[in-house]
Amino acid sequence: MSDTSPTAPGPEPFRVSDENLDDLASTLAKTIAEVRRHGVILDRLGSEPDPPAADGQTDGATEAGAAGQKAEGPASVFIVALGGEAYAVELAALSNWVNHLLLPVYGREISTTRPWCAQWYEHPEAVARLHALWLAWQQLTDTEAGLAGPSTWHRDHLDQALVHLRAPDGPFAACTTSPTRPNHRVLSTPAPEQAEVAA
């Protein structure tokens, strides 16, 4: 019979040195980011409808073609190529990254020479540029990117994206920069030319 008296000694507490704690926290953050990235991929794959057969029936060739298409994945992961629920899922994941990583680390102060809009998700150009930046971040901060991956992301992607996004004539040019007087306006884009019909 085992001794279960309150005076029995418990297991020794596990202690981690400060040096190892930083490594552990970094590894945990990378694991959480990878799990989130996998969740986004699963959401993307789950939101794609199965292609219907032309005659309403399936045959071996149709099933083989569908299997090949599913193995290849979506035609594009870029947000401007998505629609409906797939777009909404991707925008939600992008918003999480922008609000919890990008802005707290790289946001900087808002001014007339460096505007930002709290409703950035309503500016199509901003959504496209931020999504491209996020895709590059996912690739270049992965362990397979090597030690220079984050530096490459800063130099080749982040710096250029912020220059264009926060330019005085960028997508947020018509949005007020004063937090006490918020204003949000999406600038109109050039209308496509109408083809003239010969009379």
User: What is the per-residue pLDDT for 138?
Assistant: 92
Is residue 125 in a domain? yes
Is residue 28 in a domain? yes
What is the residue whose two structure tokens read 């990254």? 97
Is residue 45 in a domain? yes
In terms of residue numbers, what domain contains 35? 19-49+76-165
Report the domain count for the chain. Answer: 1
User: What is the per-residue pLDDT for 71?
Assistant: 47
Is residue 4 in a domain? no
Q: What is the 3-state secondary structure (H, E, C) of the chain?
A: CCCCCCCCCCCCCCCCCHHHHHHHHHHHHHHHHHHHHHHHHHHHHHCCCCCCCCCCCCCHHHHHHHHHHHHHCCCCCCHHHCCHHHHHHHHHHHHHHHHHHHHHHHCCCCECCECCCCCHHHCHHHHHHHHHHHHHHHHHCCHHHCCCHHHHHHHHHHHHHHHHHCCCCCCCCCCCCCCCCCCCCCCCCCCCCCCCCCC
Is residue 66 in a domain? no
User: What is the per-residue pLDDT for 67?
Assistant: 45
Question: pLDDT digit of tens for each residue in the chain (199 aa)?
Answer: 555 555 656 667 666 666 666 666 666 667 676 667 666 666 655 655 554 444 444 444 444 444 444 445 557 788 877 888 888 888 999 999 999 999 999 988 888 888 888 889 999 999 999 999 999 999 999 888 889 999 999 999 999 999 999 999 999 888 866 666 666 777 666 777 665 555 4
Cβ–Cβ < 8 Å for 71, 110: no
Is residue 6 in a domain? no
User: What is the per-residue pLDDT for 97?
Assistant: 93
User: What is the per-residue pLDDT for 160?
Assistant: 92
User: What is the per-residue pLDDT for 174?
Assistant: 83
Is residue 41 in a domain? yes
